[in-house]
Amino acid sequence: MKKISLALISICFALVTLAQQKEGKVIYSRTSQMQMRVNNNDQLSQMLPKSRTDKFELTFGNNQSLWKHIDEDDNNDEISGNGMQIRMVAPGQNDIVFHDFSAAKKTEQRDMMDKKFIITDSIRKLPWKLTGQTKTILGHVCQQATTQRTGKRTQTTMDNGKIERKEVNDTTNIVAWFTSDIPVPAGPEVQGQLPGLILALDMYDGRVVYKALEISPKVDVTTIKEPTKGKKITPDEFTNEREKMMQEMQKNNQGNGNRVIRMN
């Protein structure tokens, strides 16, 4: 009798696993708190927005995923004051990120100054910890997992009309809520990490927050393709290329009242 019971439990578990959603589409919002200041210009500093919200679409299937921004009529902030105009362009608006979970590989198509780049890298696992906390998001029970990511980030300031950028050491606290109802390691920012779809993500102690707004089981999996448009370079080469372009943009803006600040 005991063997029969265990066999029945195994069959039931297999049926539940087969019934779980393995492909679909998720719409996310990303709210970013913006800590920006124009030195020696309190009026313009007060006019800068304190936060902004963007939307992204994640499609997944066949153990792959595709992440991209949803266009919303050029959702870029423009601020004018004291003869100066600042246009802030959010990161990721023209980027496409593809993940192949079977190969533990990601491919990014990044836009920078009207040029496209293809950056391929491995999925680098982070040391996650389960906290035991749960909550329901869009009808799915989610578990909380936390981790830290160390690296560097670019700090941008403006002093007397001159944009200055420098790299600073950074430790990012990450809190994710994932559901094993959808056993796909996809989601915002940290894909290929957890055994379930991430429906909420908190980074930089709440300064960047992603929330799933809707989930659909309907998706054309043939659209989940690795991007190919752009110059193929390594992650380090892209960092160097970006710095060169930012320096060139700063040089071109000298003596010009227009400023573009890219938050990426």
* Lowest pLDDT segment from 25-34, 45-54, 182-191, 217-226: 45-54
pLDDT in tens, 184-226: 999 999 999 999 999 999 998 999 999 999 999 989 999 999 9
> Token pair 């950028």 is at which residue?
165
β-strand pairing of 115-122 with 231-233:
parallel
Domain-wise residue ranges, the chain: 22-262
Handedness of CA 260, 172, 150, 54 (dihedral sign): negative
**Sequence letter at residue 242:** R
pLDDT of residue 264: 42
Which whole number is the average pLDDT over 141-147?
A: 98
pLDDT of residue 7: 44
> Token pair 């830290």 is at which residue?
148
Tell me if 98 sits within 8 A of 226, measured CB to CB: yes
Higher pLDDT, 45 or 250: 250
pLDDT of residue 66: 98
Q: Which of 133, 123, 108, 127 is nearest to 173 (CA)?
A: 127
Burial of 139 (0-12, 13-18, 19+ CB in 10 A): exposed
Residue 124 to residue 177: CA distance in whole angstroms:
19
pLDDT of residue 169: 73
Q: What is the pTM of this model?
A: 0.77
pLDDT band with cut points at 50, 70 and 90 for residue 19: low
Which whole number is the average pLDDT over 117-125?
A: 95
Higher pLDDT, 18 or 35: 35
Burial of 35 (0-12, 13-18, 19+ CB in 10 A): exposed
Which whole number is the average pLDDT over 82-92?
A: 54
pLDDT in tens, 155-183: 666 565 555 666 677 789 999 999 999 99
Using the predicted structure, report yes or no on whether residue 249 has a pLDDT greater than 90: no
Using the predicted structure, report yes or no on whether residue 76 has a pLDDT greater than 60: no
Using the predicted structure, report yes or no on whether residue 260 has a pLDDT greater than 50: no
Residue 228 to residue 77: CA distance in whole angstroms:
30
pLDDT band with cut points at 50, 70 and 90 for residue 71: confident
Most confidently modeled range among 60-74, 85-99, 109-123, 172-186 = 172-186
Higher pLDDT, 223 or 38: 223
Which whole number is the average pLDDT over 69-85?
A: 59
